[in-house]
């Protein structure tokens, strides 16, 4: 892979980790956009990586697509605007890859979650709950990763319809999937799906040890989209069906 010139939108903790990962992989961060220079277009770069804030993401996406620069989006909390973004990508013949989580391990968790939800659809004695724990600086709750996990269970399991924070896991079927969102300390991210019956409990858990896994996944995605057109997710990068 040739060295890339990267525009980085968002210079917080994740932005710092992404810059370090990009440089370690031989790339250059040619532009850093924060609140002080918001609205700067990604001129003279090969790809943009967007990890800013939910209220800034849509405008940054628009800037990148208008400039013809492929963009990797890791900011969450903007997904209500996904149809608008799909239309922008089509109109501009652009390239955008989005994910609620770029960690390779989390994306494998997504796959296992879908498989288990399908098995549990035939086991009415089990009830699901979802726990997510993040640092106190995280702006959205539930996390985008938790919403992806919940959405996949909702799509596959007939016992669930949507999700709800702190709802009763033993409510009537179909019911919202209960999610508990905890904010404490500097936790990078923990997600756990638990299926409980009267006899036992099955849990799927992913615990991040730091931000490096998320950052590296975002840079890998930026490498992968070179030369491609359209709207993609990490499932495309990892070739997960």
- The residues carrying an active-site annotation are 134, 138
100 upstream amide cis, omega within 30 of 0: no
Pair 144, 76: CB distance under 8 Å: yes
């Amino acid at each position: 892979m040739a060295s890339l010139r990267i525009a980085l939108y968002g210079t917080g903790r994740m932005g710092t980790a992404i810059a370090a990962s990009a440089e370690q992989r031989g790339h250059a961060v040619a532009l850093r956009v924060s609140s002080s220079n918001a609205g700067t277009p990604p001129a003279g770069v090969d790809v943009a990586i967007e990890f800013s804030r939910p209220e800034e993401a849509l405008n940054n996406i628009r800037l990148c697509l208008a400039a013809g620069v492929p963009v990797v989006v890791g900011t969450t909390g903007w997904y209500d605007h996904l149809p608008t973004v799909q239309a922008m990508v089509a109109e501009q013949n652009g390239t955008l890859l989005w994910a609620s989580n770029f960690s390779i391990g989390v994306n494998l968790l997504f796959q296992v979650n879908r498989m288990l939800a399908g098995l549990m659809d035939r086991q009415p004695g089990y009830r699901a709950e979802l726990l997510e724990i993040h640092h106190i600086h995280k702006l959205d709750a539930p996390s985008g990763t938790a919403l992806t996990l919940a959405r996949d269970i909702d799509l596959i399991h007939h016992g669930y319809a949507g999700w709800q924070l702190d709802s009763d896991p033993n409510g009537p079927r179909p019911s919202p999937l209960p999610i508990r969102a905890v904010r404490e300390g500097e936790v990078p991210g923990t997600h756990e799906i638990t299926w409980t019956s009267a006899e036992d409990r099955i849990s799927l858990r992913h615990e991040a040890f730091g931000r490096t896994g998320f950052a590296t996944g975002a840079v890998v995605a930026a490498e992968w989209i070179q030369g491609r057109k359209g709207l993609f997710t990490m499932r495309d990068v990892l070739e997960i069906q």
